[in-house]
């Protein structure tokens, strides 16, 4: 135990003094999490992957605009912003905010729009109820509702937002038409009946016509249920933070294979391994000390990345990292992922002949495993063939398990298969390393 402790202490001391190694272990994943999360957050904004904040400039300040606004809010995916830094937004500042890329859409409600819509509705209803051929007057001109949008916004997303606005406007128009219809219908009926029957009777009939309720005008009769048609279980899609924080943290964890394999190779090349193996200490103790030291470092590294996800990224305008409700599962996934990475590092350090081989192959293999594992592009966005290949990447197991907890609210039972796979990977790589070392020791090759 004392020898194990000595080895852990030595490894930690060596790591502390290895600035390049620390840079790889801490700064690289931190920078990747920050940069990729922010970039993807921006991409998601332009494609509608996040909730959309719309600037709303109301020059009319009348009741019908409130109907449009309320209807837009009811859609749920649109957030209406009417003030910036405590100041009411005007058309100029709204346009500037769009040009600066701070917002993607701005709706301008022109002055007099309520009055114009009402007049137009009255005109239309009056014309539709009239039995006479009323001479055609000029149609009342209703000002347009203007939408400014960020040119980087993708066409499909733009259409979706414009459709939402169309629906809100249509809903407002129906409501207004129905209101005027219910107001004009009795008068029109009264007029017709008076002309045809006794005036006393007709008035009585008209009084008995019930007032029309307007509630139904906004109510959909048929609902639309959206369901993503994924081949696997991607019921809930992660936000850029939920995707990137665990993804790049795992990438950082697996990148320890480079310094770890490098340390093993240097020990071998510098005669250190020769010296250590002639000492009264087992190879297992030496390897365990190394593994435990790197596990500790990776735990610190993960906490560091979590702090970025929890505090730094939200400060820069992204959503906060949600970590689900099973901390034990998170710890288990983390430990098994770290063990898988350390096992791979030891295997690489044992088999590779030179530091250059290990660093080159280690880095490239981790990048490939990360790409396949959904670190760079989420697995659900990959072609079906790649999704099937990704099932062989340890990073995919780790990431899927983290997303099960962070996004899909899973528990330890949900992620048990992934944990088992990661631990099996660790055991497998350690067995390969041990058998390779044993063969070298026995045969000298």
DSSP E strand stretches across 28-163: 52-58, 78-81, 83-84, 87-88, 105-109, 146-149
Footprint on residues 189-228 left by other proteins (CB under 8 A): none
Residue 14 makes contact with other proteins by CB under 8 A:
yes
- CA nearest neighbour of 351 among 363, 362, 338, 366: 362
By CB under 8 A, which span of 211-219, 269-277, 386-394, 409-417 interacts with other proteins? 269-277
Question: What's the first-to-final CA gap in the chain, in angstroms?
Answer: 31
Residue 6 makes contact with other proteins by CB under 8 A:
yes
CB of 15 to other proteins, least distance (A): 9
Residue 276 makes contact with other proteins by CB under 8 A:
yes
Q: Which of 144, 280, 383, 385 binds other proteins (CB under 8 A)?
A: 280
- CA nearest neighbour of 24 among 262, 245, 315: 262
By CB under 8 A, which span of 14-22, 333-341, 343-351, 384-392 interacts with other proteins? 14-22
The pair of structure tokens assigned to 29 is 């994943």
Residue 22 makes contact with other proteins by CB under 8 A:
no
Q: Of 13 and 307, which CB lies nearer to other proteins in the complex structure?
A: 13
- CA nearest neighbour of 124 among 140, 113, 135: 140
- The DSSP code for 321 is P
CB of 292 to other proteins, least distance (A): 15
Q: Which of 222, 224, 279, 385 binds other proteins (CB under 8 A)?
A: 279
Residue 444 makes contact with other proteins by CB under 8 A:
yes
- The DSSP code for 281 is S
Residue 13 makes contact with other proteins by CB under 8 A:
yes
Q: Which of 270, 311, 360, 364 binds other proteins (CB under 8 A)?
A: 270
**Contacts of range 414-422, beta carbons closer than 8 Å, 24 or more positions apart:** 414/329, 415/329, 415/332, 415/333, 418/333, 418/336, 419/332, 419/333, 419/336, 421/394, 421/397, 422/333, 422/336, 422/337, 422/339, 422/340, 422/394, 422/397, 422/398
CB of 333 to other proteins, least distance (A): 33
The alpha carbon dihedral of 329, 330, 332, 337 has a sign of: positive
CB of 244 to other proteins, least distance (A): 33
Residue 277 makes contact with other proteins by CB under 8 A:
yes
Secondary structure of residue 47 in the 3-state scheme: helix
Residue 135 makes contact with other proteins by CB under 8 A:
no
Residue 1 makes contact with other proteins by CB under 8 A:
no
**What Cα–Cα distance (Å) separates residue 287 from each residue in 90, 247, 284?**
66, 27, 5
Residue 115 makes contact with other proteins by CB under 8 A:
no
Q: Of 221 and 279, which CB lies nearer to other proteins in the complex structure?
A: 279
Cβ neighbours, 10 Å, residue 330: 21
What stretch of H or E contains 346? helix 327-351
Residue 269 makes contact with other proteins by CB under 8 A:
yes
- Over the window 412 to 441, marking each residue x when it contacts other proteins by CB under 8 A and - when it does not, the resulting string is -----------------------------x
Q: Which of 10, 95, 179, 191 binds other proteins (CB under 8 A)?
A: 10
By CB under 8 A, which span of 4-12, 204-212, 293-301, 346-354 interacts with other proteins? 4-12
CB within 8 A of 57, min separation 6: which ones? 82, 89, 90, 91, 94, 106, 107, 108, 109
Residue 354 makes contact with other proteins by CB under 8 A:
no
Q: Which residues bind other proteins (CB under 8 A)?
A: 2-3, 5-7, 9-10, 13-14, 17-18, 269-272, 274-282, 441-445
């Amino acid at each position: 135990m004392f020898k194990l402790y000595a080895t852990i202490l030595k490894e930690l001391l060596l790591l502390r003094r290895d600035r390049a190694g620390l840079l790889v272990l801490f700064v690289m994943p931190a920078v990747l999490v920050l940069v990729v999360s922010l970039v993807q957050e921006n991409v998601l904004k332009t494609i509608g992957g996040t909730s959309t904040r719309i600037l709303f400039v109301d020059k009319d300040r009348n009741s019908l605009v409130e109907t449009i606004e309320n209807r837009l809010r009811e859609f749920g995916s649109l957030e209406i912003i009417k003030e910036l830094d405590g100041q009411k937004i005007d058309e100029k500042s709204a346009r500037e905010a769009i040009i600066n890329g701070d917002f993607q859409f701005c709706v301008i409600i022109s002055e007099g729009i309520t009055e114009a819509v009402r007049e137009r509705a009255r005109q239309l209803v009056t014309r539709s109820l009239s039995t006479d051929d009323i001479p055609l007057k000029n149609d009342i001109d209703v000002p347009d509702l203007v939408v400014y949008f960020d040119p980087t916004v993708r066409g499909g997303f733009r259409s979706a937002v414009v459709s939402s606005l169309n629906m809100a406007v249509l809903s407002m128009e129906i409501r207004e038409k129905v209101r005027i219809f219910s107001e004009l219908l009795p008068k029109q009926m009264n007029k017709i009946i008076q002309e045809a029957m006794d005036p006393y009777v007709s008035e009585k009939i008209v009084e008995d016509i019930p007032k029309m309720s307007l509630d139904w005008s906004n109510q959909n009769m048929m609902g639309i249920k959206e369901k993503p048609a994924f081949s696997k279980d991607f019921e809930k899609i992660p936000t850029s933070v939920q995707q990137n924080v665990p993804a790049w943290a795992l990438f950082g964890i697996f990148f320890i294979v480079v310094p770890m394999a490098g340390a093993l190779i240097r020990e071998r090349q510098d005669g250190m391994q020769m010296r250590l193996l002639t000492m009264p200490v087992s190879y297992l103790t030496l390897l365990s000390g190394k593994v435990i030291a790197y596990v500790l470092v990776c735990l610190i590294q993960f906490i560091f990345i979590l702090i970025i996800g929890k505090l730094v990224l939200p400060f820069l305008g992204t959503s906060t990292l949600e970590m689900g409700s099973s901390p034990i599962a998170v710890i288990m996934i983390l430990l098994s992922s770290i063990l898988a990475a350390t096992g791979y590092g030891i295997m690489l350090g044992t088999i590779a002949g030179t530091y250059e081989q290990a660093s080159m192959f280690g880095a490239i293999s981790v990048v490939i495993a990360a790409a396949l594992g959904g670190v760079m592009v989420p697995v659900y966005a990959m072609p079906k063939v790649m999704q099937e290949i990704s099932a062989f990447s340890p990073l995919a197991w780790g990431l899927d398990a983290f997303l099960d907890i962070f996004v899909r609210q899973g528990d330890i039972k949900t992620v048990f298969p992934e944990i088992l796979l990661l631990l099996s990977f660790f055991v497998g790589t350690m067995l390969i390393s041990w058998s390779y070392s044993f063969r070298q020791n026995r045969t000298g090759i």
